[in-house]
Amino acid sequence: MRQTIENRRTIFYNKIIISSVIIVVTLYSSAILSAGTLPETASNYSRLVNFIRLEDKNKPIYVFNDFEETIDEASVKDFKQYFSNRQDLIGKIKRDLGGGSLRWKLDNFRHRLLFVPETRDEYAALHKNYCTDVIDFILNETRLDNPYTQIKILQDEDPDIPENPGITVFLVHNLAREYRVTYSFFNENPKKEVKISLRGTQYIGEIGSYSSILEIKKDGTIKFVRYNYTIWQNSAQLPYNVLIVPIEETLHIALRPHTERAIRHELKSSAAVKTNDVEQIVEQWVAVEEALVGGLVNVFFPQIVSRYFDNFPLVEIERGLESKLRIKKYRHLLEGIRMVENTGYQAAVDLYTRNPNKLKEMLIKARNKS
């Protein structure tokens, strides 16, 4: 039997989603990669920056996956704003219902990912080679396990996703989401209603992401299911935001099991049974993981720049950091940067893999002092 949207509420964070009936939490990240040391005379990727600065392409656009029925809260707000701006439509609905106080409910919310492939051969090759080199460097420096099975330049619709434990990286030029939504409007008489269906496509600016899912069943059983793919796009207003993706997402994917372990432990030791309680726990750990990853990016990206680029504008690093500090999930970012600088990047990684709670306590203590 098909579930209604009311029974599948989902809340999106950058790396984590929560929804209920069972509580589901999604934690977000071809060449076989080695973890060897980068050569001292590495390739120069300055031309990649020039490509990223070109105007974005939005065609051709292909389907990545089937429609899903989880709710994107940000998009729901956009649709509410749409109705708020369409008072002519609201007036017609009221007249059709015969007046009275207008009420509404969300009957159906479906969405799927779309992508624009990178069709310029040099651009695609530079981006793939850069990602491969950076991933090798990060894994070598941090001594983290290689989570990837392949990096693939995605140019075919509805791609096959390998059924294996490793992660496939799909490289695209641009990423969009298509929405199909149905609202029901009614007044005090619930027997009469007006249904409005909307559809649209929005370029989402999600340069890199990785998802894993936490399911909390009614009997309290906790289960994590990790996605086996991640999608990285090569277009952004700031080239910096594209160039840090293989650093950020590799760290998110490699550190995610330790975040999951910490969430599992806190859920078992707390009285969190309501969705809101679980949301708060998950959101706190999102901020912790982002702080550590951000601190590591702050150390590694300048090293990447010195190896691979000529005269990269360092002001972009400052602009990228400033934009993140305005977002709640990055509230510990400055503390994360200082902690990694003070303890050393390997010590910070080792601490998180051994004792995530200790690192969390250090971040919160540092934030309270500031």
DSSP string for residues in 73-138: HHHHHHHHHHHHH-HHHHHHHHHHHTSS--EEEEEEEEEEEEEE----HHHHHHHHHHHHHHHHHH
Q: Which amino acid is at 122?
A: E
Give the count of beta carbons closer than 10 Å to the beta carbon of residue 81: 10
Tell the residue number behind the tokens 């790396």, with chain if given: 15
The span from the first CA to the last CA of the chain, in angstroms, equals 53
CA distance 299 to 30: 28
Here the tokens at position 214 are 């936490």
Question: Is residue 180 classed exposed, middle or buried when 0-12, 13-18 and 19+ CB atoms within 10 A define those classes?
Answer: middle
Select from 89, 112, 93 the least CA-distant residue to 102. 93
Q: Give me the pLDDT at residue 1, please.
A: 24
The DSSP element (H or E) to which 41 belongs, if any, is: none
Which residues on adjacent β-strands are paired with residue 23? 216
- Strands 10-12, 16-19: parallel, antiparallel or unpaired by DSSP? antiparallel
CA distance 102 to 183: 12
Tell the residue number behind the tokens 């951000």, with chain if given: 294
By the 8 A CB rule, do 259 and 356 touch? yes
- Strands 148-153, 174-186: parallel, antiparallel or unpaired by DSSP? unpaired
List the domain boundaries for the chain.
Answer: 5-369
Q: Give me the pLDDT at residue 273, please.
A: 63
Own/partner pairs for 59-63, CB < 8 Å, 24+ apart?
59/116, 60/116, 60/117, 61/114, 61/115, 61/116, 61/176, 61/201, 62/114, 62/115, 62/116, 62/117, 62/156, 62/157, 62/158, 63/112, 63/113, 63/114, 63/157, 63/158
Q: What are phi and psi of 101, to 5 degrees?
A: -75, 125
Omega into 60 within 30° of 0, i.e. cis? yes
CA distance 321 to 303: 17
Q: What are phi and psi of 148, to 5 degrees?
A: -95, 150
Which residues on adjacent β-strands are paired with residue 176? 114, 203
Here the tokens at position 86 are 């369409």
239-269 burial string, b = 16+ CB within 10 Å, else e? bbbbbbbbbbbbbbbbbbebbbebbeebbee
**pTM of this structure:** 0.83
Query: Tens place of pLDDT for every residue, the chain, 370 residues?
Result: 222 222 222 323 333 333 333 344 444 432 223 333 433 435 789 999 999 999 999 999 999 999 988 777 777 888 888 888 999 999 999 999 988 888 888 888 999 999 999 999 999 999 999 999 999 999 999 999 999 999 999 999 989 887 878 999 999 999 999 999 999 998 887 778 899 998 888 888 788 877 777 787 777 778 888 888 999 999 999 999 999 999 999 999 999 999 999 999 998 888 766 777 888 898 899 899 999 999 999 999 999 999 999 989 989 999 999 999 999 999 999 999 999 999 999 999 999 999 999 999 999 888 887 6
Helix-, strand-, coil-residue percentages of the chain, each rounded to 5 = 45, 25, 30
Q: Give me the pLDDT at residue 101, please.
A: 86
